[in-house]
Amino acid sequence: MKIPRINFKIVKPQRRTVKIIGIIVVAAIVILLLYNFIIKGDGSVEYQVLMDNEIPEEITGDILPQYKQLERALACSYNSEVYVIVTRGEKPTGGYDIDIVDMKLVKEDDETETLVVYTSFTDPEPGDIVTQVITYPYEVAKTNLERLPDKIELKVQYDD
């Protein structure tokens, strides 16, 4: 008994079909990006790190003295603006630094928002010439937030 031979013919798709499939794929990618970053949002918070002379006196006079000995991030509202303050606590010399790297607003559920403050802490290297005085490093940033977050979380990366 002879086995029948089956011939398969591969048909090359027409250029028009390839173009249509390409357009559909690109449109799907654009829709996903728009949904994630515009509609849903990526949670990024715009902020501006302030110089010492730009920080409102109410913050430097009332809030910083209460928290400067702690390592933490906190937020306060002043004149309808939301400020984020990051402190490192008491340090034995100069040379300690803080850099706010990023801020993201994360929704934990429908009602709770957590502001995650990403920072970089730098310590003086052994042998560095630093001031021999107790310091309290801090950094203050003005944000685009319209209200205070429910929680604040400090994420620290130590630079070598």
pTM of the model: 0.71
Task: Identify the pLDDT of residue 37.
Answer: 57
pLDDT digits (tens, 9 = 90+) for 105-154: 988 777 788 999 999 999 999 989 999 999 999 999 999 999 999 999 99
Higher confidence at residue 41 or residue 135?
135
Task: Identify the pLDDT of residue 94.
Answer: 93
Q: What is the mean pLDDT of the chain?
A: 87
Query: Residue written as tokens 């070598």?
Result: 160
**CA 131 to CA 101: how far, in whole Å?**
26
**CA 70 to CA 90: how far, in whole Å?**
7
Task: Identify the pLDDT of residue 42.
Answer: 60
What band does 72 get if pLDDT is binned at 50, 70 and 90? very high
Task: Identify the pLDDT of residue 40.
Answer: 47
**CA 48 to CA 107: how far, in whole Å?**
22
Domain boundaries, the chain: 12-42, 47-159
Contact 158, 121 (CB under 8 A): yes
Name every residue whose Cβ is closer than 8 Å to that of residue 49 and which is 6 or more positions away in sequence. Answer: 100, 139, 140, 141
